[in-house]
């Protein structure tokens, strides 16, 4: 698809009649947290070792995604309480070589919005991602639990994200 | 990690016979992943496991697990989906299983996730992806390693009705 047809597609979508709202039961909102992004080699011990290290120092992890980004590396994304950010960074940097951590980056202030019930519905994911991106809010990480779909967002954009979700999801 | 008593979890939920699709490096523009989700929605295909991440500013990665049966229905549309999503890399893994651990308050008790992943790693289980939030942690693993994963989790956590050895 070339740039022009992409633009036309976006305009078509924006100008299209609003689809019906999707009924959900609730939205959970976390407090301010911090996000850590670690690049690790594709072996299973480094992610487990990172979690063991943080856990043994009382760092509470509220959200995790882990996946391979190439045959050689994988991305571990963690949300920790914002009060634990500095201690976590210090710990990880002090053990960076020992734990085989290739890179460490972070967002100091993020929040998680969780929608339920998710019921494994593609429509819920699509509506969440598209509506946020159309409003200029970039999800930093998304995952699903048994009945919950969770999305990590920058705290600065959180209120904007909630108003945007209000247009596509219907609460009782 | 030393614990006085093991954490109790609810029975594991294991879903076998799945396929994992990885779309890596999708340009981050509104609606880029819509063609995939629209097809899944139209065909009534459930997403058994999902993670999305963002390594670089302008792209995102999306990994989903669907049943083998759903994948066979989707196969004919895969090249169109790839064309629309424009991922830098695309991979299919099968057969995989999702092992979902419920209950030990992953968001409240430091060390729970470390305990889970360590148990799996020590049992030689390959974790393709993990999604942990609130009270649930899901690992995508090779289907052939489900029994090893069950044994490992059964040793690390107290599962009601199961005898610890």
Note whether B53 and B27 are same-domain residues. yes
Which residues in chain B are closer than 8 Å to A37, comparing Cβ atoms? Answer: 55
Q: What is the pLDDT of residue A9?
A: 63
pLDDT at residue number B156: 86
Nearest-angstrom CA–CA distance, B140 and B19: 10
pLDDT of residue A5: 59
CA distance B145 to chain A (A): 14
- pLDDT of res. A78: 96
- What is the structure's pLDDT at A160? 95
In a shared domain, residues B105 and B84: no
Report residues of chain A scoring pLDDT below 50.
1
Write out the H or E segment, with its range, that includes residue A6. helix A3-15
Q: How far is A73 from chain B (nearest CA, A)?
A: 12
Among candidates B50, B86, B128 on the partner chain, residue whose Cβ is nearest the Cβ of A68: B128
DSSP-assigned letters across all residues of A69-126: SSSSEEEEEEEEEGGGHHHHHHHHHHTTTTTT--EEEEEEEEEEEEEE--TT-HHHHH
In sequence order, the β-bridge partners of residue A41 are A73
Q: What CATH number is associated with residue B122?
A: 3.30.70.260
State how many domains chain B has.
2
Q: What is the pLDDT of residue B2?
A: 47
Q: Are residues B86 and B26 in the same domain?
A: yes
Restricting to A residues 13-52, those with a Cβ less than 8 Å away from any Cβ of B are: 13, 28, 37, 39, 44-45, 47-48, 51-52
- The domain of B143 spans 96-156
Per-residue pLDDT in tens (0 to 9) along chain B, 165 residues: 444 467 777 768 899 999 999 999 999 888 899 999 999 999 999 999 999 998 877 899 999 999 999 999 999 999 999 999 999 999 999 999 999 988 766 667 778 888 899 999 999 999 999 999 877 899 999 999 999 999 999 888 887 655 443
Q: DSSP characters for A7-31? A: HHHHHHHHHSPPPPPEE-SEEEE--
DSSP state for residue B163 in the 8-state scheme: P
Tell me what ipTM this predicted complex has. 0.90
CATH architecture of A34-108: 2-Layer Sandwich (3.30)
> Residues of CATH 3.30.70.260 domain(s) within chain A?
22-30+111-170, 34-108
The interaxial angle of helices B78-85 and B34-42, nearest 10 deg, is: 150
pLDDT of residue B163: 44
What is the reported pLDDT for B103?
74
At which of B79, B95, B111 does a domain end? B95
In this structure, are B79 and B21 located in the same domain? yes
Q: Which CATH superfamily is domain A22-30+111-170 in?
A: ACT domain (3.30.70.260)
């Amino acid at each position: 698809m070339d740039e022009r047809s992409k633009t036309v597609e976006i305009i078509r979508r924006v100008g299209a009649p609003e689809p019906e709202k999707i009924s959900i039961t609730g939205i959970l909102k976390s407090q301010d947290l911090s996000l850590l992004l670690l690049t690790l080699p594709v072996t299973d011990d480094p992610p487990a070792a990172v979690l063991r290290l943080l856990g043994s120092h009382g760092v509470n992890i509220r959200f995790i995604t882990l996946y391979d980004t190439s045959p050689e590396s994988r991305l571990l994304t963690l949300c920790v309480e914002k009060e634990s950010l500095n201690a976590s960074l210090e710990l990880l940097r002090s053990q960076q070589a020992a734990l085989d951590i290739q890179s460490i980056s972070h967002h100091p202030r993020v929040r998680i919005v969780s929608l339920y019930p998710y019921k494994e519905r593609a429509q819920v994911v699509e509506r969440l991602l598209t509506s946020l991106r159309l409003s200029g809010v970039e999800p930093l990480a998304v995952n699903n639990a048994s009945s919950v779909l969770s999305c990590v967002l920058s705290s600065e954009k959180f209120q904007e994200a909630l108003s945007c979700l209000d247009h596509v999801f219907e609460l009782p | 990690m030393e614990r006085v008593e093991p954490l109790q979890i609810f029975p594991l939920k294991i879903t076998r016979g799945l396929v994992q699709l990885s779309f890596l490096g999708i340009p981050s523009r509104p609606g880029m992943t819509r063609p995939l989700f629209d097809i899944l929605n139209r065909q009534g295909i459930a997403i058994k496991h999902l993670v999305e991440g963002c390594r670089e500013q302008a792209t995102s990665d999306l990994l989903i697990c669907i049943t083998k049966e759903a994948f066979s229905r989707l196969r004919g549309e895969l090249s169109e989906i790839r064309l629309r999503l424009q991922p830098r890399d695309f991979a299919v893994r099968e057969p995989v299983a999702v092992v979902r651990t419920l209950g030990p308050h992953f968001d409240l008790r430091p060390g729970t996730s470390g305990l889970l992943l360590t148990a799996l790693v020590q049992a030689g289980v390959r974790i393709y992806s993990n999604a942990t939030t609130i009270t649930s942690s899901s690992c995508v693993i090779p289907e052939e390693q489900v029994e090893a994963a069950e044994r490992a989790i059964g040793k690390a956590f107290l599962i009601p009705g199961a005898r610890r050895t």
